[in-house]
Amino acid sequence: MSDATLHDAHRDPDDFAVQIADQIESFIVAVAEVAKGDEPDSAVPFLLLEVSQLLLAGGRLGAHEDIVPDERYEPDVGPEPDVDELRERFAVLLDPVDVYSEVFDPYVARSSTVACRISDDLADIVTDLRHGMAHYREGRVSEALWWWQFSYLSNWGPTASAALRALQSLVAHVRLDSPLDELDGFDTDSDADGDEELAEQAGKVMAAEIAAPLGLRAASQP
């Protein structure tokens, strides 16, 4: 399916797949426009709006029954588009508020905070969304929906939720005239031990959340 037919007039605007694809494409286009830096003063409020709207699509995907693709194995979509330029543009545009602290899993008791970057979050989200869009544009609608649903639950949903909290906090600090506390050297590459702990937690969460839907059994505990 080419770009020209992505919004074919014969496609039902009330169709679930069409609505989800429209919201996702709108986010991808809008984020690319913000990254150009033409209106830096409105970047954070605009990103707050766009991420909020994207998470509405994500919520609909999460609440939807499990989507099963038509093909057993995922067709190759070719090389992933490079998002490094997008990431770097946002790192410059959002400096010095790019880095924020986040709790990886609110259901893990006494979880320590980890450092994240809004620029990394946006680039990772766009990567996931583009992957599904590649299937959608080729007419593999069920594959696109499966990918968007799966990656919402496992990656871009938590990432977008964390970024939304950071963006909302930034807007609140500005509107309520509440100065930001300095992060005092807090950075995404400052704690190697924290990275190892984060990776371990991520593995446990993914095993718990996606093993059953994929028909896998969790590894037995010692």
Strands (E), 54-183: 99-103, 113-117
Range of weakest confidence among 119-133, 149-163, 176-190? 176-190
Contact (CB, 8 A) for 160 and 125: yes
d(CA 151, CA 146): 8
Burial of 173 (0-12, 13-18, 19+ CB in 10 A): middle
Mean pLDDT for the stretch of residues 148-170: 95
Closest CA to 187 of 118, 99, 123, 93: 99
Distance CA 125, CA 145 (A): 15
- Could you report the per-residue pLDDT of 59-102, keeping only the tens digit for each? 999 999 999 888 878 888 777 889 999 999 999 999 989 999 98
Q: What is the pLDDT of residues 169-219, one digit of tens each?
A: 999 988 887 777 655 445 555 454 544 454 444 444 433 443 333 333 343
Torsion, CA 218, CA 109, CA 104, CA 58, rounded to 10: 70
pTM for the predicted model, two decimal places = 0.76
CB atoms within 10 A of CB 199: 10
60/62 Cα distance (integer angstroms):
5
What are the percentages of helix, strand and coil residues in the chain, rounded to 5?
Answer: 60, 5, 35
